[in-house]
A and B are shown apart, each in its own frame.
Chain A
């Protein structure tokens, strides 16, 4: 996995929210979109995150990369949205599937025929996974984040992230195969 983004200080200057938006909005939007599977909500979250970024530019201390800082704001915002959504909706979590117990060859490369359906199938798959697996997979998909940064963003050790990602990949592959 590559190292973190270049100098975090470079992009964070007053009035440069456009530059930040240009460079990072895709990642913020994608995380929100695949977390909730709702385009309108993902747009709202992306908007709100960048308003927060604008308000807090002076608080960014450069101890983390800009990308990590943005992810932290996005994850917090998504969690707030989720909590408020859960308060309004009764969620039947049911019994969580036990992917670990399922014997399957998950090393097989994931093949798809219709690329147009990919987004829909990915969303369906992610929606079937526990929130933690979903978040870890979405974060590790960003090549600029190291395991250490993912660990910091999700409040756990890098070793725990590695272990959970292994199970998350396995769960994703099994669930993806069900989407046709």
Chain B
């Protein structure tokens, strides 16, 4: 059997009414009862050849199968490549079509009318282009030509292109056609696999913490971008160590202020290198142009099959430390206020704590004189230097009216105010500020109570910086706490003064004060009593030696005590070893606990010897007169 001669192609999937008509006609032509007709009826036939048209007419089952096959084929094509393209005889792209509905990448390249080498492809050298063009000139099919480009967003894309020449029916070259696949994911994955070091670097650079790797001598082997950035902005203890330099030496060469931290860090890292510890952690502070900054250093030992390494990580923890310090300041202020015995002590204590914890030189408190409507200097604390003492001495007697100077402005506005680095606020000259800021900056905030502003706290020092929100929150809390404490202290001071006055008056009225327990035993005797010695504590009144009183009077007194009555002018006499008499009068009242339980007696005593002796002398004189 010879092979068939190619013929014009029939329509493989005739549809519509013409098809149906043709199909029926073809069926009718078949001999009834013939094998073809029987096979059709048995469902074993795919198509009927129409002798009139020469077309093969598909039966429904075959039509469906063909359609399904086409769809499946298209799907498989989509798996095989992403784009189909054609070029003209000058190798310019004239058409392209995506195998799927996705991926517009190929179109974004703007390739229509351009040759491949006109596109922005960055991985093929001029030499390689020449070779490729030579292949095209020779009309050779090319396979898997990999090109790399970056899109507008800087994303790298890898494309694999294959093509073959096309010719017309006369054998004339018409151009190329081919397919392209996006192989970006595969290429990137390959790159990652082939370059573990590159992957490690990428991961290292992705870390927010500054990370450096040391060898056993402390030499910096590698560092990430964060380390290098930190070295540029904050070259603190060991932080300026670059690759190839010795981290440990840099730490030990730290400036005077940072020497202790530098030496400590170097010693800790050496221990990690030696393997005597697996982890070294250290928090330290450094002064920089941006102010005081805190860092958390962590050194970890890692060992592989070649040699041990130490990974150093440094993290800027300034914000966290700052918050911790301010919280500590608030707590310290609260404790000092709780311990303060007077308003002045509270003020000085708060000023001292704030100065010490913030590194400021001195602070002053200006109290509001409501009657005069001005702020008056009240108290201060400063570091013990001559300059500070002199400045604080000059502050005594200072008075600010509202809106006068910084203090007056805080007094009037009720808001914190600051002057940093000697730069005065707008509208105030440095000369005008000198009495308020001293040599450096100043930070002022109101002290508030329920009645409004109670005063202004004004601090000065060299380390004055513009406060952040957390600092303002802290000074607001301190101002409130101090204000409330002052109100409480002032009330306590008034009470204390009142008690003092009462005691003074009491001392004028009596000679001693005494207390007894519920069994009438002395527990306390204060003042000039005839029983001042401690050995008499624990005795009852009637047990005391040398007391002269009749039994009837004792019985009367005891019955009063048992009845829990108050008593007054209970007089008795004592006689000492020399037989000398003294006379006393005592008053007392029962004491009750919080639950109303009787707990004893308290009272006062008065030496009435002079009066008694005078009375006795008078009586004797009267008796002599009558005689």
Q: Do A and B bind each other?
A: no
Contacts from B to A (Cβ < 8 Å)? none
Contacts from A to B (Cβ < 8 Å)? none
